[in-house]
Structure 1
């Protein structure tokens, strides 16, 4: 019984770890895309000044 519980805890831990990694990669990709957009919007203004 304890072995089954350990496997379940290990599975939950791995699932949480995987979802955290996926969420972080998705968030960083979105942040990078937004940063690129902000840079593209700001650059023409700077050169115009």
Structure 2
């Protein structure tokens, strides 16, 4: 999980290529739990359903 403002983090493509499921959180910076908690919890719920 990462805030969309951090989409340019250099390691994201690398970890995704190695099987990590990325979950960008819209309208968010470093702290999804404060910036957009609803979107963060939806990503968690979606992950748990799969």
Higher helix share: 1
Higher RCO, 1 vs 2 (CA within 8 Å, ≥6 residues apart)? 2
| Bigger Rg, which one | 1
Higher strand share: 2
